[in-house]
Amino acid sequence: METVYFIAGDGIGPEVMTVAIKVIKEALKIHNFEKKIKWQELLAGEKAFQQTGSYLPEETLKILKQARFAVKGPLTTPIGKGFRSLNVTLRQTFDLYACIRPIRYFQGISSPVKHPEKVNMIIFRENTEDVYAGIEWPANSNEAKKIISFLEKEFQINLNPSAGIGLKPMTEQGSKRLIKKAIEYALIHNKKSITLVHKGNIMKYTEGAFRDWGYKLAKQEFSNSIITEQEAKQGKQGIILKDRIADAMFQEVLLRPEEYDVIATTNLNGDYLSDALAAQVGGLGIAPGVNMGDSLALYEPTHGTAPSIAGQDKANPCSMILSMAMMLEHMGFKQVAQHIEKAIEKTILQKTVTIDLASQMKEAKVVGCKEFGDRVIANLEQ
């Protein structure tokens, strides 16, 4: 029996978590796998603070250090002040260096683009480096002034003395391990291409290095299966390794999404791109994700806490359900995961959806979070 640890989260987190677990348990039961998984709750976020005085209790960290699979709802992160992002802290504490987000279209959902059905990509976003490393100092602070003074004295770099300062560390090791995970996924799933997305034309020694390290890795470890675009034009066979400038890539995924399968990119670019792609197929409410390291995989919805609708039974549980379906596939229950995806699509086609999806569809019936989950279960059972 495998133990799955879950953190309910803040805002709408407890609502979508409850519904998602109910759906997953029913799907496992239908396939006679209900005894294969044991569920155990861990505390983090506001609930943890109320009960223990800590937003991230040591007991939670201790258990997760030994865990293989965990799921979490969205956690509150105050903007501009207060504690650091719990999401970032969890990623860095457990070295969850790969944020993996598959993005596909579900029939029945209205979209702002003409052909959302052409979108079927998976993004591998580096998760621990870049500006998300959190190395920064506020404007006019003593620390920022020291950094500015040092840069001026040692490197003749003149900055406004009142500037806030942030650093963007990126390493060969961090970039290569993320890109390697993307390449391995492409090989296992018989994908046609992998695209390195970067801003190397401007940030040559960070983003540009990410690109260069990717090509270097492919040549060193995957030369028998990975080819460049130039080699493909010459008739060589293999999975094509491409690279695209980040701003151009936003245009590419709108105009030619069918040309891209697997994307490997840096932290900030991945954040932007995964949310933009989700909008092309219906929004974050149906976008699953996982933060993965070499030992722990932490699955989570890509949306936030949505405090304005928390406790009102309005939240869309699809992202949470689909994230758990990703987990089931990772655990070896691929058939169960596919069954869940089909049940969600059938529910959407029946136009019985939560308010966020109903607002994008004609003649849709608005149902609450709980009822949507019940309708997915009904479609599972059929």
How many other C-beta atoms lie within 10 A of the C-beta of residue 190?
8
Q: Is 274 annotated as belonging to a binding site? A: no
Q: Do the beta carbons of residue 279 and residue 134 sit within 8 Å?
A: no
Q: Is 68 annotated as belonging to a binding site? A: no
Q: Is 375 annotated as belonging to a binding site? A: no
Q: Is 101 annotated as belonging to a binding site? A: yes
Q: Is 85 annotated as belonging to a binding site? A: yes
Helix (H) or strand (E) holding 166: strand 165-166
- Beta carbons within 8 Å of 118's beta carbon, 6+ residues apart: 105, 257, 258
- Beta carbons within 8 Å of 60's beta carbon, 6+ residues apart: 7, 42, 43, 44, 48
Q: Is 256 annotated as belonging to a binding site? A: no
Q: What residues are labeled active site? A: 132, 199, 247, 271
Among candidate residues 43, 47, 49, 52, the one with its CA nearest the CA of residue 70: 43
Q: Is 76 annotated as belonging to a binding site? A: yes
Phi, psi of 43 (to 5 degrees): -100, 135
Distance CA 351, CA 160 (A): 55
Q: At 272, which amino acid appears? A: Y
Among candidate residues 375, 310, 312, the one with its CA nearest the CA of residue 347: 375
Q: Is 3 annotated as belonging to a binding site? A: no
Token pair 């997915």 in the structure block, residue: 376
Under DSSP, the state recorded for 178 is: H
Helices (H), the chain: 13-30, 46-52, 58-65, 86-93, 142-155, 172-188, 207-221, 229-233, 246-255, 267-280, 318-330, 334-349, 355-358, 369-381
Q: Which residues are annotated as a binding site for Mg(2+)?
A: 271
Q: Which residues are annotated as a binding site for NADP(+)?
A: 76, 316
Q: Which residues are annotated as a binding site?
A: 76, 85, 87, 91, 101, 125, 271, 316
